[in-house]
Copies of this chain bind each other. A is one copy, B any other.
Amino acid sequence: MNQERITLSHGSGGKLMADLIGNVFLNCFGNKILNRLDDAAKLQIGRAQVAFTTDSYTVKPLFFPGGDIGKLAICGTLNDLAVMGAQPIAISASFIIEDGFLIDNLKRIVNSMARTAKECRVDIVTGDTKVVGKGECDGIFITTSGIGVVQKDMNVSANNAKTGDSVIISGELAEHGTSILNARENLGLKPDIKSDVTSVYPLIKSCLSLAKYIHVMRDPTRGGLVAVLNEIAKQSKVGIKIREENIPVKKEVKAACEILGLDYLNMANEGRVVFIVDSRMAGKILAKLQKNGSGKKARIIGRVIKEQEVALETKLGTSRLLPLLEGEALPRIC
């Protein structure tokens, strides 16, 4: 028997994870829909295009500045629907809980899920609960799945970026990942950095009238902006060039990442969207985003190029490649 083993890097959104998905999951499960590697599958049911997605949440700690595993589990799955252009209609929630977990903490998490779902106008319609022994899981893991209806004129996919398109990011980067690390490692970075975890559907809804000019939407979670840009470039067989000076990021967040020896461009976000749009309409789409609560800091950060590489133009005018990382050991960030 081959003694090769799963490592933390297989779960961190980098190259090892992409290889695992290719070699194991696509190799065995492969079909037209899954092979697209979009954030949600698109299914035709009658006349409706239905988006369907799932994610497991293992974040540590369970409660962090700006959110908790419950809020994350709802927003994360709704966002995977949203970036397919789908309005959510129902959510499922499945819990794996460790023997000995405090029921008050479970209630706190479940209340947070209920509150978030209500704010997002979606019902949790089905679920499951499993309890495992002490030491067989770390507290609680939650898996949510979601169903949504793809909105009119929305035809986005990581496969649809075109040379000449503009790249927009909807807000400041790296706040979720940095907040989790700060809380988990008791780094004591001040001011407390809050996770950006939020539902992005309202933001996307504000652009619905311009839907046909939006080619790709993607939420830069694990692996951050760099992972998402590399995935889009690979799937669409194009390259992407972004300008450092245009990228929105809070000074204290960038500084915190530097102290930790991490690049804010690789850090997880849970309330941001990367848009790849027809460049003629980029200004109009940007204006719509900036009118929205979580889109105030939206910026055009770059463009799609022909050469198949992802690159950064630095503030010094130099250029450097932004390859997909092998897989950094930042486990349990979401």
Residues on A lying within 8 angstroms of B by beta carbon are 1-12, 17, 20-21, 24-25, 28-29, 31, 33-34, 40-41, 43, 45-48, 50, 52-58, 89-90, 92-104, 106-107, 110-111, 113-114, 117, 123-133, 135-138, 141, 143, 145, 147, 149, 331-332
- Known contacts A34-B127, A52-B147, A56-B143; A6 and B41 CB within 8 A of each other: no
Q: Which are the 10 A-B pairs with shortest beta-carbon distances?
A: A11-B131, A41-B125, A145-B145, A143-B143, A54-B92, A136-B138, A46-B46, A28-B114, A41-B126, A33-B125
Is B130 a contact of A56 with CB atoms below 8 Å?
yes
Contact A126 B10 (CB under 8 A): no
Docked-complex contact A28 and B103, CB < 8 angstroms: no
- Give the CA-CA distance A120 to B260 in the complex, in Å: 49
For the complex formed by this chain, how many copies does it contain in all?
A: 2
Q: Are B94 and A55 in contact (CB-based, < 8 A)?
A: yes
28 contacts between A and B (CB under 8 A): A2-B104, A5-B100, A6-B99, A11-B97, A11-B132, A25-B129, A29-B113, A41-B92, A45-B48, A45-B50, A45-B147, A52-B126, A52-B145, A54-B92, A54-B94, A55-B128, A56-B94, A94-B143, A96-B141, A99-B331, A132-B332, A133-B331, A133-B332, A135-B138, A136-B137, A136-B138, A145-B145, A147-B147
Bound complex: CA A157 to CA B107 (Å): 28
Complex: chain B residue closest to A99, CB-CB: B8
User: A100's contact among B6, B40, B94, B101, by CB below 8 Å, is which?
Assistant: B6
> What residue in chain B is nearest A136 (Cβ atoms)?
B138
Chain B residue numbers with a CB within 8 Å of A96 are 56, 58, 96, 141, 143
Given A6-B99, A28-B111, A141-B141: A331 touches B132 (CB 8 Å cut-off): yes
Residues on B with C-beta less than 8 A from A107 are: 24, 28
Task: For the complex formed, measure the closest distance between the CB of A334 and the CB atoms of chain B, giving whole angstroms.
Answer: 8
| Closest B residue to A115 using CB positions | B28
Residues of B within 8 A of A56 (CB): 94-96, 128, 130, 143
Q: How far is the CB of A214 from chain B (nearest CB, A)?
A: 21
Q: How many angstroms between the C-alpha atoms of A333 and B14 in the bound complex?
A: 34
Q: State how many angstroms separate the Cβ of A11 from the closest Cβ of chain B.
A: 3
Chain B contacts for A114, CB-based, 8 A: 28-29
Specify which of A9, A46, A110, A131 lies most central, judged by the most chain B CB atoms within 10 Å of its CB: A131
Q: Are B133 and A8 in contact (CB under 8 A)?
A: yes
Pair B20/A129 contact, Cβ less than 8 Å: yes
Q: Once bound together, how far apart are the Cα atoms of A246 and B53, in whole Å?
A: 43
Known: A102-B3, A132-B331, A133-B331. Contact between A127 and B93, CB under 8 A? no
A149 and B331 alpha carbons, distance in the complex (Å): 37
Max chain B C-beta neighbours (<10 A), residue from A4, A130, A147 = A130
- Shortest distance in angstroms between A91's beta carbon and chain B's nearest beta carbon? 9
Docked Cα-Cα span, A24 to B103, in Å, equals: 9
Q: How far is the CA of A129 from the CA of B21 in the complex (A)?
A: 9
